[in-house]
Amino acid sequence: MYKSPIKKVQKTQTVQYMKDEAVSKSDLTRQMILEKSAVLFNLQGYSGTSMKDIMNATGLSKGGLYGNFKTKEDIALAAYDQAVDTVWEEVKKRTKVIDHSLDKLKAVVYFYKERILDPPVEGGCPIQNTAIDADDGNPILRDKVRNTVDNWRRNIVTNLERGMKSGEVRLDCNASDFAIKFIGILEGGIMLSRLYKELHYFDVIAKQLIDLIEELRA
């Protein structure tokens, strides 16, 4: 009995389409969970956020959540990545159009000045919030934040070393130490402004940081 190869191909394509559609829906559900959870964890912390909170925010049952993540900790870790990536993408939009090494750093300062009271992720800086929350709590989350800060420091060091090679940055610049100062001062300014809900506190810090950046100009 003759079987048309066309029908066989069509059937295969239909099955593949159904599989792709299922994967797409699963990806969308997972992304929705992360976006909702990122805000919850950023506002309430790990201990302060229950699975019930996540269920209410996402509209999913416990089975719906566990169908995408094994544990609450898995959700928290992935949600933290989601929150940090959201901030980094906003920062990169500012820095990628700038060539000068020091002006890139200044652009980061100006970004936070503009968004300090209207952050990309509700609740403020996810790095700072999670670092404080996990300090004496979840060691896996703490290591996650440390890895983020380590990468941030390396990026600053790479940027400054590139600037030294191109003649933009003074050769006596200690890139590693400056990266630590940059992050510490910036995060301190964020904390004070968020605490008092006033931009003035960050303005004071930002001016000092901009002055330090300018001192490195060759």
Instruction: Report pLDDT digits (tens) over 133-142.
Output: 887 778 999 9
Give the domain range for residue 132: 5-214
- Whether 13 contacts 7, CB under 8 Å: no
Alpha-carbon dihedral 26, 30, 36, 41, rounded to 10 degrees: 160
Q: How high is the pLDDT of residue 127?
A: 95
- Tell me which residue of 44, 48, 27, 37 sits closest to 86, measured CA to CA: 37
Taking only the tens place, the pLDDT of each residue in 141-175 is 999 999 999 999 999 999 999 999 999 999 999 99
Q: How high is the pLDDT of residue 15?
A: 42
The pTM of this model reads: 0.84
d(CA 150, CA 71): 26
Provide block-wise average pLDDT over 10 residues at a time, the chain (218 residues).
51 46 74 94 93 94 90 94 95 95 97 92 94 85 95 98 96 97 96 92 95 96
Q: How high is the pLDDT of residue 138?
A: 84
d(CA 73, CA 34): 12
Q: How high is the pLDDT of residue 217?
A: 96
Domains in the chain, number: 1
- The CATH number that applies at residue 57 is 1.10.357.10
Q: How high is the pLDDT of residue 18?
A: 40
- Whether 178 contacts 156, CB under 8 Å: yes
